[in-house]
């Protein structure tokens, strides 16, 4: 969607969700953003139910759209800031998906209770057999035993996946056997595909598939030598918590990123992947070519990725933390309602 159409969709969803939410009763209301407009039905429902409100921040709005130039109108920026204040002011607790998002929340509204819970690594889903990986590679003659770099996810204005195509151009000059697979959809699908064709890489080095069901991703990542995650060089985007990052960890695959922030620090600290120069795709191509053939480095990076998945980002571990937030926020209200119910039934 264009930015204007997307904002309209956000507004339409806000109205419809608010109409539905206000007809429901709850012991606790949970809303997850983006977009920020989802806070409105959440706050309304919480007030009408006299229930605690928990708000999850999955992208730091309005900071991200303002830095991207998508929200230029001063009035729109003030309204977006007011929405953020509304959400944080009414929230019993805020869940933030990264340290930077948590800091952004407290910077806007000091004193807000914030818990950092990133997206999770689903270890069970990404446990695939070597036989399944072998079949996948054998079914695609262009792949076989060649090294494979994959990108799975959106091809939107935020991602800048053409960076990978430019890197592949340089990588092909060094090692033409290395293959790149891009799986996804989005506004920049056609322009990314056109760039690969312009470089003479399409269907030779760079292969592009439409988005696939999540259930098909494990074997794709299992066949990958390395996974990737990209964003444009905008600092506000560095605090993302992209699913593809944690999927790679769950699949025990090194991940290469082209941004700074907490994930870059994590990769430098553990050796679970690569941090690429966001301004130099050719250098990234040389880095890829060097590491996809380094079996020692790959083995260490895979082990580090798996350790991160198990010890810090497993789904069950993070869900326990999330459950604690909900129970903590609902606790006082739940006890009051239980007491009222007991009195009404003569059981107090």
**Tens digit of pLDDT for each residue in 2-51?**
767 877 888 888 889 888 988 888 999 999 987 788 999 999 999 999 99
- The per-residue pLDDT for range 147-203, each reduced to its tens digit, is 999 999 999 988 999 999 999 999 999 999 999 999 999 999 999 999 999 999 999
Residue 78 inside a domain? The answer is: yes
Residue 251 inside a domain? The answer is: yes
Q: How far is CA 165 from CA 152, 189, 229, 230, in A?
A: 14, 12, 13, 12
- The per-residue pLDDT for range 126-140, each reduced to its tens digit, is 999 999 999 999 999
Residue 267 inside a domain? The answer is: yes
- The per-residue pLDDT for range 223-281, each reduced to its tens digit, is 999 999 999 998 888 988 989 999 999 999 999 999 999 999 999 999 999 999 999 99
Residue 124 inside a domain? The answer is: no
DSSP for 60-127, please give it.
-TTHHHHHHTS---HHHHHHHHHHHHHHHHH-SEEEESSHHHHHHHHHHSTT--EEE----B-TTTT-
* 171 and 226 both lie in a single domain: yes
State the CATH number of the domain containing residue 143: 3.40.50.2000
* 113 and 180 both lie in a single domain: no
Domain count, the chain: 2
* 134 and 99 both lie in a single domain: no
The DSSP element (H or E) to which 332 belongs, if any, is helix 315-344
Question: Global pTM?
Answer: 0.87
Structural domain harbouring 337: 3-119+315-344
- β-strands 255-257, 206-210 pairing: unpaired
* 168 and 307 both lie in a single domain: yes
Residue 90 inside a domain? The answer is: yes
User: What does the block give as tokens for 148?
Assistant: 């494979």
* 262 and 178 both lie in a single domain: yes
Residue 61 inside a domain? The answer is: yes
* 275 and 155 both lie in a single domain: yes
């Amino acid at each position: 969607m264009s930015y204007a159409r997307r904002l309209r969709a956000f507004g339409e969803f806000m109205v419809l969700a608010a109409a539905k939410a206000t007809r429901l009763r709850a012991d606790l209301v949970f809303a997850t953003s983006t977009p920020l407009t989802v806070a409105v039905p959440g706050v309304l429902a919480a007030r009408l139910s006299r229930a605690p409100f928990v708000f999850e921040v999955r992208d730091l709005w309005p900071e991200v759209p303002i830095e991207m130039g998508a929200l230029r109108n001063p009035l729109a920026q003030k309204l977006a800031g007011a929405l953020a204040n509304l959400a944080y002011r009414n929230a019993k607790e805020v869940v933030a998906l990264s340290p930077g998002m948590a800091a952004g929340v407290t910077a806007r509204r000091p004193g807000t209770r914030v818990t950092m819970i990133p997206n999770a690594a689903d270890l069970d889903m990404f446990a695939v057999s070597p036989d399944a990986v072998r079949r996948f590679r054998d079914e695609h003659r262009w792949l076989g035993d060649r090294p494979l770099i994959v990108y799975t996810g959106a091809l939107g204005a935020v991602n800048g996946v053409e960076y990978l195509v430019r890197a592949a151009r340089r990588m092909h000059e060094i090692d033409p056997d290395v293959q790149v697979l891009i799986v996804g959809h989005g506004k920049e699908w056609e322009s990314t595909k056109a760039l690969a064709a312009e470089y003479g890489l399409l269907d030779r080095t760079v292969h592009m598939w439409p988005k696939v069901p999540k259930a098909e991703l494990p074997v794709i990542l299992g066949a990958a030598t390395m996974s990737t995650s990209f964003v444009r060089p905008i600092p506000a985007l560095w605090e993302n918590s992209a699913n593809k990052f944690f999927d790679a960890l769950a699949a025990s695959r090194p991940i290469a990123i082209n941004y700074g922030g907490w994930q870059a620090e994590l990769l430098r600290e553990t050796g679970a992947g690569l941090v690429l120069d966001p301004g130099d795709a050719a250098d990234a191509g040389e880095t890829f070519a060097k590491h996809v053939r380094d079996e020692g480095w790959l083995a260490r990076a895979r082990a580090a990725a798996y350790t991160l998945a198990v010890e810090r980002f497993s789904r069950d571990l993070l869900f326990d933390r999330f459950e604690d937030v909900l129970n903590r926020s609902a606790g006082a209200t739940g006890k009051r309602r239980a007491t009222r119910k007991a009195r009404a039934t003569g059981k107090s």
